[in-house]
Amino acid sequence: MKNIPSMTALIAAAQAAGVQEEYRLSSQRLTDYLRDTVNSCRAAVLTGQRVDLSPAALITDVRRRIQRRQESRLRRVINATGILLHTNLGRAPLGLLARQRVQAVAAGYCNLEYDTDTGGRGSRMSHIGERLARLVGAEAALAVNNNAAAVLLVLAALAAPGEVIVSRGEQVEIGGMFRIPDVIRQSGAQLVEVGTTNRTHLADYRDAITANTTAILKVHTSNYRISGFTKQPTRTELAELAKEKNIPLFEDVGSGLVLPVAAVGGTEPTVAEILAAGVDLVLFSGDKLLGGPQAGIIVGTGHHIQRLAKHPLMRALRLDKLSVAALEGTLLSYERGSAPQDVPILHFLGRGEGELRQMAEELACAMRQELPEDLWCTVLSLQGEVGGGALPEARLESWGVSVDLPGGSPEHLVRYLRRRSVPIVARCKEGKVLFDMRTLFPGEAAEIGAALRDYCQGGMAE
């Protein structure tokens, strides 16, 4: 302990090394960093570790701490899982047009709520409302912070304090605390459950309707399926019942398919088809299959949308200018017909097996040339998924490369890849590490190759 330099001596050493100027620290901040270093030295000495206590070593430690603190923590990740919409990996990557709109707007002032015709106050929805409505053939549209907010707003503004009827087969928990019964309670509406877990009949809905009923809510079972002896009334039947009783029908569709996507095989109706079936409002996320920024999108009947826009919660749930810009850019891609190429999620979904197999073969070939022979890589077909609570049954045939280290630990390799400065997220299965090609951007396969080379040249020993 006696050999640990005093704070005074360390401050002098740091000053002499120019640390304070280099990192633009106040004297107080420098002292805090030095104290952290001294404390960790003390802890190490106390646990009997050998520590280099020379001032030079301590200054190196301080530099490392400062650099680590000044690095950004939110960073790009290479997604080699094949899961297209991974909530933990930020869901949909933004397309070129969306990124361009964000850049154009972020650096300066913008007309977010300024009407350039009149010079008076404008509406942030004016940039996206019409475009959204046109895209799905709705009368009107609105966007809020996320789909959870959309459900909350619709119920609070249009259903509370009355009763909302939901099937017991659709009491969804999405994860991350989004549970339909809880959201309904928060909105101030009363949940009325009908049917059973596996079977709900139209008559169950009809029998539950009272003078207090203010809405019927249909919820997409985004992340599970009930199969076997099951029943749900069709959307059209439900819409007819709602019309007959003069009650609005709302549907939380979760991912919201805007364009029919061949890869998911027509198993899901598009938002336009859902509206055409007679649903009054359809709610979905901006960052799932639409491929835009985090947002909650509400499309449907004009008079409902107008009431939502005027509700006090709207102020708390509104989108910021960066999201408005990114959403407008994404919608422009659809409007210009370039979405299947521009919007990464749609581009990745559209990748055919031939293209994916070729990507895998190129990566495996590069690996075989550069890596030691005891690291086996094999091209193989994989089953991907859409993820993000979207299309739970869709299985995406994909291709990838599996890496096998005889005698090595796949978990060790996966951890090494995850902890790199650009983390690579790969799957581990049956003793092998799998890299799925579907979710890789151009150049990322080469980055994976380089990371494996680093691993063989020293990372393996870490």
Ligand X SMILES: *Cc1c(COP(=O)(O)O)cnc(C)c1O
* Interacting residues with ligand X (CB under 6 A): 146-148, 172, 174, 178, 219-220, 222, 252, 254-255, 285, 296, 389
- Choose between 66 and 394: whose C-beta lies nearer to ligand X: 394
Q: Residue 71's Cα: distance from chain center in Å?
A: 22
Strand 427-429: give its sheet, edge to edge. Answer: 376-384, 396-404, 432-436, 427-429
Nearest residue relative to ligand X (C-beta): 254
Minimum CB separation of residue 140 from ligand X in Å reads 20
Minimum CB separation of residue 204 from ligand X in Å reads 21
- Choose between 180 and 451: whose C-beta lies nearer to ligand X: 180
d(CA 222, CA 363): 34
Minimum CB separation of residue 286 from ligand X in Å reads 7
d(CA 343, CA 333): 7
- Choose between 176 and 188: whose C-beta lies nearer to ligand X: 176
Minimum CB separation of residue 431 from ligand X in Å reads 33
Continuous H helices in 159-268? 180-187, 202-208, 235-245
- Choose between 232 and 402: whose C-beta lies nearer to ligand X: 232
- Integer Rg of the chain from CA: 27
Q: Which amino acid is at 289?
A: L
d(CA 363, CA 263): 24
Q: What angle do CA 364, 368, 372 make, to 5 degrees?
A: 135
- Choose between 283 and 396: whose C-beta lies nearer to ligand X: 283
Minimum CB separation of residue 9 from ligand X in Å reads 53
- Choose between 34 and 327: whose C-beta lies nearer to ligand X: 327
Minimum CB separation of residue 120 from ligand X in Å reads 32
Minimum CB separation of residue 348 from ligand X in Å reads 19
Would you say the C-alpha torsion 44, 47, 52, 54 has a positive or negative sign? positive
Q: What angle do CA 14, 18, 23 make, to 5 degrees?
A: 95
Minimum CB separation of residue 220 from ligand X in Å reads 4
d(CA 233, CA 231): 7
Pair 440, 93: CB distance under 8 Å: no
d(CA 170, CA 162): 19
Minimum CB separation of residue 311 from ligand X in Å reads 18
d(CA 20, CA 455): 35
Element of type H or E holding 173? strand 173-175
Give 144's strand partners: 296
- Choose between 242 and 390: whose C-beta lies nearer to ligand X: 390
- Choose between 66 and 258: whose C-beta lies nearer to ligand X: 258
- Choose between 195 and 256: whose C-beta lies nearer to ligand X: 256
Residue 55 has which token pair?
């001032």
